[in-house]
Amino acid sequence: MDDAVLREVIAPNQSKIVLMVLDGLGGLPHPETRRTELETADIPHLDRLAAESACGLTIPVAPGVTPGSGPGHLALFGYDPVRYNIGRGALEAVGIEFPLEPSDVAARGNFCTVDESGVITDRRAGRIPTERCVELCTLLREIDLPGAVALIEPVREHRFVLVLRGEGLSDDLAPLGTDPQHEGLRPVPVEARSAEAEPTARLFNEWIVKANALIKDKYPANAVLVRGFAKYPDLPSMQSRFGLNPAAIAIYPMYRGLAKLAGMQILTTGGTFEDEIATLREHWHEFDFFFVHYKKTDAAGEDGDFQRKVHALQEFDAHLPKVLDLKPDVLMIAGDHSTPAVMAAHSWHPVPFLLHAKLTRADQTDAFNEPSCQKGGLGTFPAREALQLALAHAGRFTKYGA
């Protein structure tokens, strides 16, 4: 929605909105049964809710475009994911809750394996254990640079975050960085896309030379690849845009980081979905918007495990009554993108969506799945419009124009 329209209609009240995101929710039919994960799962609470709700399918970014987690979530938080395109380095830093400062430039790092001639033989260094990554990062912290500080944090397996902190740094660097994207090639130097960014490119290149020298005997993690240079993205908060007092409940750091970018308060929670629901109930009176993230659907989809995704959906469904008991004014059940088990990857297919509120117009859906939502009253619509529908149903929009 046009920002000018939004500013004119926003009218906060005391209503409560819950956005439940089942990561990678959408699917494709199993080749044998011709039924999707949602059609296969026994999800009585979701089906009943669908019958009482307005349903539809969301397009995360644009028709045909497969989103990463960043754009997929930002759209559901009410941001245009193209206008607010977040660089990989910043997303990775945000994902480990690294306190990025506005002048920092963050990059995503990989440990990789190179042969004696410097050619990459494994871009992920055989996915070394996280403990090994921690050790290597400690070693890399020794590196000194002229006029800047290099901060290194391990992420998981072969992945780390590299942050340059100093004066006048620029993130106008070629985003693929030193990673040639294919094995059998040599790393390339970091390249500035403008004269202004040249000193920053030199600093990154100097750091890389020193890092490779330090770990050259640490096979299989005997070199680094660095890419996705980005400063901290400056998003207007959900408070200022939508007049909400929002909180996030998520187990994985990446989703907490994304929620924080949008200005959400991050609530401490345990390691299970049951813990997340308990956290929601505990903080129910403190906030008016809750984002609850459910990861298992995506993880199973990415692994190509159809049955595990079906079970993940059923587990979600079993816990749903505890959310309904809270009687939110608006409840959205959504996905950041599809992750069909038959593809074992994120996909572009529109994602089932449901909005439950007092004033939704009934449609003819009586089940929560892809073909049913395709016939839903909300139609197939951009995911970034979901929050404005929620705000409307929560009575948080006044009339536009006289």
Q: Kindly report the number of other CB atoms within 10 A of residue 393's CB atom.
A: 22
Q: How far is the CB of 66 from a copy of itself (least distance, A)?
A: 5
Residue 185 binding a copy of itself, by CB under 8 A: no
Exactly one of 9, 251, 318, 326 binds a copy of itself (CB under 8 A); that residue is 9
Binding track over 284-303 against a copy of itself, x by CB under 8 A: --------------------
In whole angstroms, give the CA distance from residue 96 to residue 100: 11
CB burial string 239-258: b at 16+ within 10 A, e below: bebbbbebbbbbbebbbbbb
Residue 381 binding a copy of itself, by CB under 8 A: yes
Range in contact with a copy of itself (rule: CB under 8 A) among 43-51, 274-282, 292-300, 381-389: 381-389
Residue 398 binding a copy of itself, by CB under 8 A: yes
Residue 397 binding a copy of itself, by CB under 8 A: yes
Q: How far is the CB of 55 from a copy of itself (least distance, A)?
A: 11
Question: Considering beta carbons, is residue 19 or 267 the nearer one to a copy of itself?
Answer: 19
Burial class (CB in 10 A: 0-12, 13-18, 19+), 198: middle
Exactly one of 13, 33, 52, 85 binds a copy of itself (CB under 8 A); that residue is 85
Sheet (strand 351-357) strand order: 265-266, 246-249, 289-294, 17-22, 330-334, 351-357, 54-59, 379-382
In whole angstroms, give the CA distance from residue 306 to residue 28: 10
- Per the structure block, which two tokens stand in for 251? 């187990």
Exactly one of 21, 50, 61, 250 binds a copy of itself (CB under 8 A); that residue is 61
Q: Is 202 helix (H, G, I), strand (E, B) or coil?
A: helix
Residue 362 binding a copy of itself, by CB under 8 A: yes
* Residue recorded with tokens 């030199």: 202
Q: How far is the CB of 202 from a copy of itself (least distance, A)?
A: 25
Q: How far is the CB of 311 from a copy of itself (least distance, A)?
A: 22
Scanning residues 200 to 229, which ones bind a copy of itself (CB under 8 A)?
Answer: 228
Residue 363 binding a copy of itself, by CB under 8 A: yes
- Per the structure block, which two tokens stand in for 54? 């307005």
Residue 157 Cα distances to 24, 168, 187, 310, angstroms: 22, 32, 20, 28
Number of residues that bind a copy of itself (CB under 8 A): 62
Half-sphere exposure of 1 (CA within 13 A, CB side): 22
Chain residues that interact with a copy of itself, rule: CB under 8 A:
1-2, 4-5, 9, 28-29, 34, 36, 61-72, 81-82, 85-86, 88, 91-92, 108, 228, 340, 343, 346-349, 359, 361-364, 370-371, 374-375, 377, 379-381, 385, 388-393, 397-402
